[in-house]
Amino acid sequence: MKILILSQFFAPEPHLKGLPFARELKARGHEVEVLTGFPNYPGGRVYQGHRIRPWQREYMEGILVNRVPLYPSHDSSPVRRILNYTSFALSAATLGALMTERPDVVHVYHPPPSIGLAAVVLKALKGVPFVYDVQDLWPDTVAATGMLSNPWALKAITKWCDFIYRQAGHVSVLSPGFKRVLTARGVPAEKITVIRNWCDEDASRSVEYDDAEAERLGMKGRFNIVFAGTMGKAQGLDSVLEAAEICAGRNPAIQFVFVGGGTERGRLEAASAGRGNVRFLPYRQSAEMPVLFGLADALLVHLKKDPLFEITIPSKTQAYLATGKPIIIGVAGDAADIVREAGAGLAVESENAGQIAEAALRLAGMGADRLKEMGAAGKDYYFRELSLRRGVDRFEEIFQGVGG
């Protein structure tokens, strides 16, 4: 089949449905083309070596990647974020429609919902069906994070999303909870397939403990609980800092290590100044992560308490499972169910500093053999149930049904 991947985000940006997905489809004999923007996520600045042009074509591992202009931004400003999303949507719907050849099917990565405009235009102009891959429920997500609260705007986004669901040939979702919500909104259940996300399997592994690197990063001789990824309002990390304070008085060896960027990082770092068991490290490229995971004793997934997040599976859940390290998961619902089913760690209540601290203390008190068993169970579960190959198998079935 000829498959077009339509996504605002693509390599070199961190994106699990990006180049690894395209590479796997190509390896299975499909002709793959990509329509995307110029890389600027997550920092909101165009990556070094790139500059925004009216259009650009390049090949990445033999895959044609078409880039169209957008307004680069990813900060906490709703206006700039809207400009970022809508500028790409308009470019993709106009220039992108002209640049790309007619595919058999389009894989559309959501969010943002504005990307649906390009999918609808391609369908109208070229008669191309599309599969809508829902990774965030809008407007639920922007309301839950506080990014947008205007009721009229939220209602407009709801209507737009409902329109896109109707236009889609099929809808894929990342959790059973997402399917329940969309079915309640009127999307036929038979039109929705649950395909749990995979991770960057090259980056989501751990290597042998590097003593020199541990010394350099201030992680030597500590029980390191690592949070790696975006630090925004949705992550609710103030409670993790409170947990660190509790642990400091009961087991000073426990250290919470935050890696990455995000709109809340500066505030969190300032709030933890002077604490000897909290460390912030800069954003790292995916190729650097295995060394860091090798230094971790446990990994932390956390989101603020919100009904939406009970049906959300944060992408780092799969990534952490694949590393073979124990997990503390502070997300209720579908994500916690995966960790429990895998036997890969401990589930705690979101934003409950006491429970987070107790989980950290419990893991730190376990023997090395038990921690290894827990990590190995998670890794086995990931490759058995959630891997890239398993996910692409499911997408191939859908693509054949919609575009074949």
Write the CATH number of the domain with boundaries 2-198+387-403.
Answer: 3.40.50.2000
The CA distance from 169 to 403, in Å, is: 9
pLDDT tens for 166-198 read 999 999 999 999 999 999 999 999 999 999 999
Bond preceding residue 12 cis, omega within 30 of 0: yes
- The reported pLDDT for the residue numbered 248 is 95
Non-local (6+) Cβ contacts of 302 within 8 A are 227, 235, 236, 237, 239, 240, 328, 329, 330, 331, 350, 356
Tokens standing for 354? Answer: 């006491």
Q: How does strand 254-259 pair with strand 170-173?
A: unpaired
Q: One-letter amino acid identity for 91?
A: S
Does pLDDT of 329 surpass 80? yes
- The reported pLDDT for the residue numbered 366 is 95
DSSP letter for 403, please. Answer: H
Does pLDDT of 146 surpass 80? no
Tokens standing for 242? Answer: 């409170």
Judge if 2-198+387-403 and 211-385 fold alike in CATH terms: yes
pLDDT tens for 253-298 read 999 999 999 889 999 999 999 899 999 999 888 888 999 999 999 9
Does pLDDT of 12 surpass 90? yes
Does pLDDT of 317 surpass 90? yes
Every domain of the chain and the residues it spans:
2-198+387-403, 211-385
DSSP 25-76: HHHTT-EEEEEEE---TTTTSPPTT----S-EEEEETTEEEEEE------SS
What band does 14 get if pLDDT is binned at 50, 70 and 90?
confident
- H/E run at residue 226: strand 223-228
pLDDT tens for 30-77 read 999 999 999 999 888 999 999 999 999 999 999 999 999 999 998 778
DSSP 87-155: HHHHHIIIIIHHHSPP-SEEEEEESSGGGHHHHHHHHHHH---EEEEESS-TTHHHHHHTS---HHHHH
Does pLDDT of 154 surpass 90? no
What band does 17 get if pLDDT is binned at 50, 70 and 90?
confident
**The whole model's pTM is what?**
0.80
The CA distance from 317 to 325, in Å, is: 11
What band does 315 get if pLDDT is binned at 50, 70 and 90?
confident
Q: Which CATH class is domain 211-385?
A: alpha beta
Which range among 109-113, 305-309, 339-343 shows the weakest confidence by mean pLDDT? 305-309
Q: Average per-residue pLDDT in the chain?
A: 93
DSSP letter for 278, please. Answer: E
- The reported pLDDT for the residue numbered 306 is 86
Of the candidates 31, 38, 46, 37, the residue with the CA atom closest to the CA atom of residue 7: 37
- The reported pLDDT for the residue numbered 98 is 92
- The reported pLDDT for the residue numbered 151 is 85
Of the candidates 231, 205, 174, 227, the residue with the CA atom closest to the CA atom of residue 42: 231
